Every structure is written in C-alpha cells, then in structure tokens.
C-alpha cells in the first residue's frame, strides 16, 4: 500500500515538475538542449512530430494505467519509474557546471535531489512494508 506520506511527497514532486517545466519554457530550454535538438531532428515537420509524440504519450499512459490497475508490485514499479525523474533532471546542474553559467531549468532542478531523497526513502519504506 502507498502511504499517505508518499502521496504527499508525490504531490510535492508534481508541483516541482510543473514549476520546472515553466522555468524551462520561460528560459528557452528546448533550443539549447542537445537531446531536444537530436530528437527534433528525427522528424521532418511539425505535424509528424505532433502525431508521434502525442500518440507515444497516450500509449505509454495506457500501459502505465494498466500496470496501476493490476496493482501489487507493479504499482511500486511504476512509482520507481516515476522516481527516475530525480536522477534524470540532474543533467541541468551538470550542464550548468560544464558551461560555467546558468543553464535553463537549473534553478528548480536543484530541488530534485532534495525531494528525491525523501521520495526514494519513503518508497523503499512502503515497499518493505508491503513485502513483510
């Protein structure tokens, strides 16, 4: 079972993700990020990119929804997958160090490790309680 404490941390995480996305939009993240540049080069035009991105997201959403409906350990696997965001977003801080300056998304990205520690700690506690 997912504890109320983990649910609260998850809500804080979502608020952080939204704030982080807003910072990326305001500071012009997508034209500077090497991954965004690479993945956008895979598409020939905007309609093609829109189709594939929207459909991939909805297919992924359906799969994740199915795993959550199954429940049990799958619920914790989905939560662990969500928790990977706390590691992935460290690239903002790394890129800021490499460029020796501000990198879009860096300010809110500094909070990911802090929230991530609490998230992963509580997820492991909940996982152990479920398996004991």
Helix axes 73-83, 112-131, angle to 10 degrees: 170
The pLDDT, as a whole number, for residue 10 is 97
Give the C-alpha distances (Å, rounded to integers) separating 77 from 2, 52, 82, 83, 102: 12, 25, 9, 10, 34
pLDDT tens-digit series, residues 15-32: 999 999 999 999 999 888
**Percentage of the residues of the chain whose pLDDT score is greater than 90:** 83
- Give domain limits for the chain: 4-40+71-131
DSSP reduced 3-state for 52: helix
CA atoms within 13 A on the CB side of 120: 12
Write down the residue that tokens 């500071």 correspond to. Answer: 27
């Amino acid at each position: 079972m997912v504890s109320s404490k983990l649910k609260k941390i998850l809500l804080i995480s979502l608020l952080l993700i939204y704030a982080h996305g807003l910072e990326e939009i305001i500071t012009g993240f997508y034209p500077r990020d090497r991954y965004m540049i690479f993945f956008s080069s895979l598409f020939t035009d905007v309609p093609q990119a829109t189709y594939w991105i929207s459909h991939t997201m909805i297919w992924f959403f359906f799969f994740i929804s199915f795993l959550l409906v199954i429940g049990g350990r799958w619920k914790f696997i989905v939560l662990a997958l969500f928790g990977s965001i706390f590691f992935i977003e460290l690239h903002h801080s790394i890129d800021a160090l490499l460029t020796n300056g501000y990198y879009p998304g860096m300010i809110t990205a500094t909070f990911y490790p802090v929230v991530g520690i609490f998230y992963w700690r509580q997820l492991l506690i909940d996982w152990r309680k479920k398996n004991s």
